[in-house]
Structure 1
């Protein structure tokens, strides 16, 4: 790709990122506000991150046990599920919701995670934190670093369980980003989508029977996650997810007396008004690139995967595409080498972009290259 093209591509990508961020956060909202009990609420489509509805979504608030979403994903990404977690004194003495861990008790990390996410065990959160990082303080550093990586810049964790603490807060928007990220993990998604789970109870004749506190799994079509929360300071909090017709929605409500109804109302709106539209189909022809001094004269460029984006029916009618493909490239060409990109616009706003690349390797067939090849063969 020429220097001029590289500059144009870099500038275009920067504009695309800015436009997508602004458009995703701005969103397209209901003509009339939804009747929600929540102080703060947001609905996003998980794969694109597009905000479909929001109410005070950027206000910093405590989030109670929805904190454990981050606790779980950090543990899953940093440890083996068959690790043995040994319960320490700090964990066994934690108040609030609990799975009644005893000091010295041993459980696989996988069982601890079910206790964390289904029964909302505050003791399990501390046991996991100490196992993963050696201490709660070091683990919360990992949580905060992960939040920054995800883009949840208005979030701060002070503990792994969500009990009231100074400098422990998030926003509905940030929690939705964290939730969407976690729901992309197969292990996490399986755990939070489980209604009941039986795990051992050391020193007892019976096992622990855990029931998921998230009623969305029972009461909402397509419900597949993720976590409830409550403290006096935070009020009732819920991150809830559901998938229908290949569209994964994540709804978050903070300080919501009627949290389940709120999330159902948000997702009802999302599924009724939006569909995940295919804007570019996998394998769709995008153009032709000539190759100078190559073993082949050129190659066709095709999109590598479906490009999806949540749109209303009205918005879908305003979609346009712009394809940029190099007319000529110089051999050699590497498979996967970027040779262009496709932008998708909604009216005058660019909403997504994808690179286009060479589908095969093409060798150099220039005179100079062939002379060098002959000389190399003579010398060897």
Structure 2
């Protein structure tokens, strides 16, 4: 009989605030928005995917070589980076930035990725696309499939390099989300953080030396990526990233005449205005299991949950536990029995699995009220 489980879940739900599941965005500071040269911008916390700042962030715009972020991650995920790529005629003499490929060159895909992301080689982009996708059209299809998978609704790709095309566009927010995803890949992360790369080259007795075009790696303490871009129509575009005290932030600026300073100001804003807050700790009691009160079993967080908050937001997060396992069958510790959904400003920001566990100390009814208050962020102090 499942009624006890349903009843328990209902009672627990009443103890905590309920809300719809929506993304939480940072407040837009008007003074920072007006100071930016960028026509569109976004800032994202990489670990949580929280958008910390936005300016015209959903506007579809030309992105130039920021395209190569998608080119790189699609290639890394769909091919062996140590396999050699044979350069075809279509990759020779491509307009714009180049690493000067020659037809018949056999170059490891990993090396081409450095040429793509450090030197922004359009010829490298074409060689990669033809190797991974079979053709430029085939690879563009893969890029758009990945964009759809990531929920990038304001993005469409027609080529792997970002040269101007009317149906080739993205948004500041989409590029921020794409980059946050890509930076979780260790190969991508290593390449974009590299300032100088020396690579052996077929038919040459010396190594080629590629210096990263991204000046942010030298201008901003802790900078570790990502990509520059420019065409006559897109103007200057830039995706930057930096890590401080284990926390990584990404900024995107589109059509920005002063992109280096824009990016540094946005990174400062992200680090200074938002701080990682542990809303739930591993092993924390979320709610009691009333039927098993004598045995002391409770709903306990299986893992911690951390989220970037402003000073004003601290103490406002709420947790809603959901019991997903029949309470009558919960007879021991360590059983996965539910989900703790975390809300901020009434919007869902994440969840943690809940397991059965015995609290370290017995707690009276008044203490349970205090526990619930602490979980909700409503305790004094």
Place the TM-score, normalised by the shorter chain, in its bin. 0.7 to 0.9
Cα deviations by residue, 1:181-215 (Å, 9 ceiling, x for unpaired)? 00011111001000000112223333221111111
Most deviating of 245-254 and 121-130:
245-254
Check whether the contact 2:324–2:339 (CA below 8 A) recurs between aligned residues.
Answer: no
Q: CA deviation at 1:336?
A: 7.6
Q: CA deviation at 1:103?
A: 0.4
Superposition pairs of residues 160-309 of structure 1, within 5 angstroms: 160-289=160-289, 299-309=297-307
In 1, distance between residues paired with 2:158 and 2:196?
A: 29
Q: 1:334 to 1:139 in 2, by over 3 A?
A: farther
How much is the aligned-residue C-alpha RMSD, in angstroms? 2.9
Most deviating of 40-49 and 300-309:
300-309
Superposition pairs of residues 321-336 of structure 1, within 5 angstroms: 321-325=319-323, 329-331=327-329
Structure 1, gaps ≥5 residues long? 361-380
Structure 1's consecutive aligned runs of 4 or more residues displaced over 6 angstroms after TM superposition are: 5-8, 332-336
Q: CA deviation at 1:339?
A: 1.9
Give the TM-score of the pair, scaled to structure 1: 0.83
Q: CA deviation at 1:138?
A: 0.5
Q: SS of 1:250's equivalent?
A: strand
Q: SS of 1:197's equivalent?
A: strand
Check whether the contact 1:20–1:352 (CA below 8 A) recurs between aligned residues.
Answer: no
Aligned residues between the structures: 349
Superposition pairs of residues 1-380 of structure 1, within 5 angstroms: 4=6, 19-21=21-23, 23-24=24-25, 27-30=26-29, 32-34=31-33, 35-289=35-289, 299-325=297-323, 329-331=327-329, 338-358=336-356
Structure 2, gaps ≥5 residues long? 359-381
RCO higher in structure (CA 8 A, sep ≥6): 2
Check whether the contact 1:68–1:125 (CA below 8 A) recurs between aligned residues.
Answer: yes
Q: 1:336 to 1:147 in 2, by over 3 A?
A: farther
In 2, distance between residues paired with 1:188 and 1:33?
A: 30
In 2, distance between residues paired with 1:318 and 1:229?
A: 40
Cα deviations by residue, 1:64-114 (Å, 9 ceiling, x for unpaired)? 001000000011111112111110000113121010000000111111111
Check whether the contact 1:290–1:328 (CA below 8 A) recurs between aligned residues.
Answer: no
Check whether the contact 1:64–1:162 (CA below 8 A) recurs between aligned residues.
Answer: yes
